[in-house]
Amino acid sequence: MDDRYSRQQLFRPIGENGQQLLRQKHVLIVGVGALGSASAEALTRAGVGKLTLIDRDYVEWSNLQRQQLYTEADAIEKLPKVVAAKTRLHAINSDVQIETHILDASSEVLPSLLETVDVLIDATDNFDIRFILNDLSAKYKIPWVYGSCVSSYGAVYTVIPDETPCFHCLLDVIPQSGMTCDTAGIISPAVQIVAAYQVAEVMKLLTNNNEAIHKKYKTFDVWQNQHFDINVEKMRNENCPCCGKNATHPYLAYENQTKLDILCGRDAVQIRPPKAVKYDFEALKSKLESQGKVQSNPYLLSYQTDDFRFVLFQDGRVVIHGVKDEQEAKKIYYQLLG
């Protein structure tokens, strides 16, 4: 055990002092899919003191091609990603404290989790959540590392409050392709490259190697062998609603958040009740078993028919697969739970 981090400590910018710093640090990862699972594993192996993992989803078969923490057993059991991730990460390094939350990353719940957080990692596929992270970063002075990938393309950018332009400042330069992993696909190398850059940036921040931070917006296409760095130093906007002189942090207002989400490219709609609702899974299972295939675990209940799949989480949140239309989703929701 004494030489677990020996090779990492031989890397001069880290050394023994940097390793001690890592052991004292707390990183929050929002999303534990492809990017999140890769980052969580790397930071666990690196010996970060504490990781907080937030994800609203469960493991599906289509995840296994690129989401490295998960197994076929996790997909069969429909385990929430944070639950499966915690088990695997604990087996990798039991010294790292792993805190998990099965929930939507919203402006209501995130502030209460930030008290001891040193760095935030964006591992989502959701721009609303990214803007929430951006506002929280500016308000609480916590750096965050943006990452995105689709197809063979990826992008990374590090936001340091009061030093770099924030994510909102960069709106005019961030490519908005409209592609998602479910419409354009994704290859694992794109994920690994983005995660590697994100983890490297986080380790620089945690070990006080801020002079090594890459302050440009980095993009690449690994298939086309293209790499670009966009100089965004002059993009900082004094009137930015997030980081400007009179910042209002608009994405922290609950009314600005979507309550009903069409999940990107997945033929699925998520419905969030106004407040957490507890359902009797056993009673609901008995009611639905005669109408379709029902599967449950301590975290969720899944109900499958020929037309759709209805997944109910413990907090009352529902994901309905096989529908695109909001009205159709609401009809199913109230039919089963109303």
| 188-212 exposure pattern, b = at least 16 Cβ within 10 A, e = fewer | eebbbbbbebbbbbbbbbbbebeee
Cα dihedral 196, 200, 206, 211 in deg (nearest 10)? -160
The pLDDT of 135-155, averaged and rounded, is 95
Whether residue 30 is predicted with pLDDT greater than 80 in this model: the reply is yes
Amino acid at 233: E
Q: Which residue has the higher pLDDT, 1 or 319?
A: 319
Query: How much of the chain, in percent, has pLDDT values that exceed 70?
Result: 91
What does residue 181 show for φ and ψ, rounded to 5 degrees? -60, -25
The pLDDT of 42-70, averaged and rounded, is 96
Whether residue 234 is predicted with pLDDT greater than 50 in this model: the reply is yes
The pLDDT of 151-162, averaged and rounded, is 95
The whole-angstrom separation of Cα 63 and Cα 150 is 14
The pLDDT of 173-194, averaged and rounded, is 74
pLDDT at residue 182, as a whole number: 60
pLDDT at residue 173, as a whole number: 53
Residues 109, 258, 122, CA angle at the centre, nearest 5°?
Answer: 55
Q: How confident is the model at residue 178 (pLDDT cuts 50, 70, 90)?
A: low
Q: Which of these ranges, 142-151, 162-171, 247-256, 259-268, has the smallest mean pLDDT?
A: 259-268
Query: How much of the chain, in percent, has pLDDT values that exceed 90?
Result: 65
What does residue 202 show for φ and ψ, rounded to 5 degrees? -65, -45
Write down the pTM of the prediction. Answer: 0.88
Q: Which residue has the higher pLDDT, 177 or 58?
A: 58
The pLDDT of 67-91, averaged and rounded, is 96
Q: pLDDT tens-digit profile of 257-305?
A: 545 554 544 677 888 776 667 788 888 888 888 888 999 888 899 999 8
Q: How confident is the model at residue 191 (pLDDT cuts 50, 70, 90)?
A: very high
Instruction: Count CA within 13 A, CB hemisphere, residue 152.
Output: 7
Whether residue 254 is predicted with pLDDT greater than 60 in this model: the reply is no
Q: Cα dist. 202→159, 246, 304 in Å? A: 11, 29, 41
pLDDT at residue 258, as a whole number: 47
Q: Are 242 and 168 in contact (CB under 8 A)?
A: yes
Q: Cα dist. 193→21, 35, 66, 226 in Å? A: 25, 9, 12, 13
pLDDT at residue 306, as a whole number: 84
Q: Cα dist. 306→287, 319, 321, 333 in Å? A: 17, 16, 11, 16
The pLDDT of 90-99, averaged and rounded, is 97
